[in-house]
Copies of this chain bind each other. A is one copy, B any other.
């Protein structure tokens, strides 16, 4: 492929002159500039970013490390991130950790060797602290999105998981529900802890006793809810929950699927509310009562904060909390 040397030779000038034309730096006569430009165009010259990266010590690449691009929340987040990155002159590399620490670790190593300029990361869990410390050790700026990690200070863009949960549970209580089950993700993840806190606090505020056997911990990823649902329906009818608070979209789907397989209906037999679903607008009839988060802004703002930090060192860490919105729909009905 044609390099700056080829251009220089043909233009009978030094490579520096060519470099100056490319970057519009230094002093160059208009005549020379035009001549070099013409030759670059004629020879179809394209600068080599790898060479540039090597000397400039910057790649113009951002790594987006999420758990699963097919989770609609992260899909939209990714789009927000990519739009912002493009606007600011960066490329986005994406990776799916599947909430798996080993996979995350592999990606972190790749990220380091790629010398990306920054990392936008939704960490797999609290144990990601190691990975984040590694990034810090190598001086690679990062911004946490959606999840925080205890012991790690950094820029963050988070949702208001606690408030959102409270709104959902309050909604159920207002509908007359008292026996409310809670199927949560791993407590290793900050949002799961906040959602739990919101659940517990709301029950307490409403003088409802917390039933430990109404609380289930599982995972935010796709999984099989049968064992949990079976435990629930094995309870005597007078003690069985009448409503379920599911901590994210995949949990909700798994729960509904399992209920239906057992001949139970939503909302007739169980009301269901959930967090995290982003209500993609290609669903014809939105059915779920949800706390919807502004996923696009998670990505957009996170990417902006990140690039901001890459450009000029910033002293303090910044946190942005994005509110969620309660959308009441058909999956939750008054207790009859």
Q: Which residues of A contact B (CB under 8 A)?
A: 1, 44, 46-51, 53-54, 59, 61, 68-70, 72, 75-76, 78-79, 82-83, 86, 91-96, 109-110, 112-115, 137-139, 249-250, 252-253, 256, 266, 277, 280-285, 287-288, 331
Indicate which residue in B46, B68, B282 contacts A72 across the interface (CB closer than 8 Å): B282
Chain B: which residue is nearest A80 at the CB level?
B70
Q: Establish whether residues A284 and B75, one from each chain, have CB atoms under 8 Å apart when the complex forms.
A: no
Indicate which residue in B47, B76, B253, B277 contacts A113 across the interface (CB closer than 8 Å): B47
Offer 22 A-B interface pairs, CB within 8 angstroms, sorted by A: A1-B139, A44-B138, A46-B112, A46-B113, A48-B113, A50-B53, A50-B114, A50-B115, A51-B54, A61-B93, A69-B69, A69-B78, A69-B79, A69-B82, A72-B280, A72-B282, A78-B94, A79-B96, A92-B95, A93-B94, A253-B281, A256-B284
Q: Establish whether residues A137 and B94, one from each chain, have CB atoms under 8 Å apart when the complex forms.
A: no
Chain B residues, Cβ within 8 Å of A331? 284
Chain B: which residue is nearest A110 at the CB level?
B91
Indicate which residue in B44, B91, B253, B285 contacts A137 across the interface (CB closer than 8 Å): B44
Indicate which residue in B78, B109, B285 contacts A287 across the interface (CB closer than 8 Å): B285
Q: Establish whether residues B94 and A114, one from each chain, have CB atoms under 8 Å apart when the complex forms.
A: no
| A253–chain B nearest beta-carbon distance, Å | 5
Majority SS of interface residues in chain A?
Answer: mixed
| A7–chain B nearest beta-carbon distance, Å | 15
Q: Establish whether residues A75 and B70, one from each chain, have CB atoms under 8 Å apart when the complex forms.
A: yes
Would A253 and B46 be within 8 Å (CB), given that A86-B95, A93-B93, A96-B82 are in contact? no
Residue from the set A95, A250, A252 with the largest chain B CB neighbour count within 10 Å: A95
Chain B residues, Cβ within 8 Å of A78? 69, 94
Q: Give Cα A1–Cα B287 distance, bound, in whole angstroms.
A: 52
Chain B residues, Cβ within 8 Å of A283? 283
Additional 14 contacts, C-beta under 8 A, given A50-B114, A93-B93, A285-B287: A1-B115, A1-B139, A44-B137, A46-B112, A46-B113, A48-B54, A50-B54, A69-B78, A78-B94, A92-B94, A250-B282, A280-B280, A284-B287, A284-B331
Would A114 and B137 be within 8 Å (CB), given that A82-B96, A253-B284, A282-B250 are in contact? no
Q: Establish whether residues A1 and B75, one from each chain, have CB atoms under 8 Å apart when the complex forms.
A: no
Q: Establish whether residues A138 and B1, one from each chain, have CB atoms under 8 Å apart when the complex forms.
A: yes
Q: Establish whether residues B70 and A82, one from each chain, have CB atoms under 8 Å apart when the complex forms.
A: no
| A172–chain B nearest beta-carbon distance, Å | 18
| A330–chain B nearest beta-carbon distance, Å | 10
Chain B residues, Cβ within 8 Å of A69? 69, 75, 78-79, 82
Chain B: which residue is nearest A134 at the CB level?
B44
Chain B residues, Cβ within 8 Å of A139? 1
Q: Give Cα A59–Cα B113 distance, bound, in whole angstroms.
A: 11
Chain B residues, Cβ within 8 Å of A281? 253
Chain B: which residue is nearest A85 at the CB level?
B95
Chain B: which residue is nearest A78 at the CB level?
B69
| A171–chain B nearest beta-carbon distance, Å | 18
